[in-house]
Structure 1
Amino acid sequence: MNAPTKDQSLRNLQKGGELYGKVKVPGDKSISHRALLFGAIAKGKTLIEGLLPAEDPLSTAECLRSMGVKISPIKKGDIIEIEGVGLNGLQEPQDILNCGNSGTTMRLIMGLLAGQKDHHFILTGDKSLRNRPMKRVGQPLKMMGAKVFGRCCGDLAPLSIIGNKLRGAVIGTPVASAQIKSAILLAALNAEGSTTVIEPARSRDHSERMLKAFGANLEVGGEMGRHITVYPGKDLKGQSIIVPGDISSAAFWLVAGSIIPGSELVVENVGLNPTRTGILDVLEAMEANINVINKRDVAGEPVGDIEVFYKENLKPFKIDGEIMPRLVDEIPILSVGACFCNGISQIKGASELRVKETDRLAVMARQLKRMGASVDEHQDGLTIYGGKSLEGCELDSEDDHRIAMSLAIASIMANSNSTLRRSEAAAISYPDFWSDLKRLQQKN
Structure 2
Amino acid sequence: MIPRQAPAPAPAAGRLLSKQVLAWASWDWGSAAINAVMTTFVFTVYLASPLFGDTDSNSAALGSALAVAGVAIALFAPVTGQRSDAGGRRRFWLGVNTVLVALATAACFFVYPEPRFLLLGVTLIAAASVFAEFATVNYNAMLPQISTPATIGKVSGFGWGMGYLGGIIALAVVLFGFVQPLADWPGASTEDSLNLRLVAVFSAVWFLAFGLPVLFAVPEVPRRVDTSKLGFAESYRILWRHVRSIARTAPHTLYFLVAAAVFRDGLAAVFTFGGIIAAGTFGFSTSQVIVFAIAGNVVAALGSIIGGFLDDRIGPKAVIVGALSGLLAAGTGVFLSPDARGFWVFGLLLCLFVGPAQSSARAYVARLAEPGREGEIFGLYATTGRAVSFLAPALFSLAILLAAPHVSEGGAQRYGILGILVVLLAGLLLLLPVHRPSHGPRKPHGPGPA
TM-score normalized with structure 1 length: 0.22
- Kindly indicate whether structure 1 or structure 2 has the higher relative contact order, using CA contacts under 8 Å at least 6 residues apart: 2
Q: TM-score, normalised by structure 2?
A: 0.22
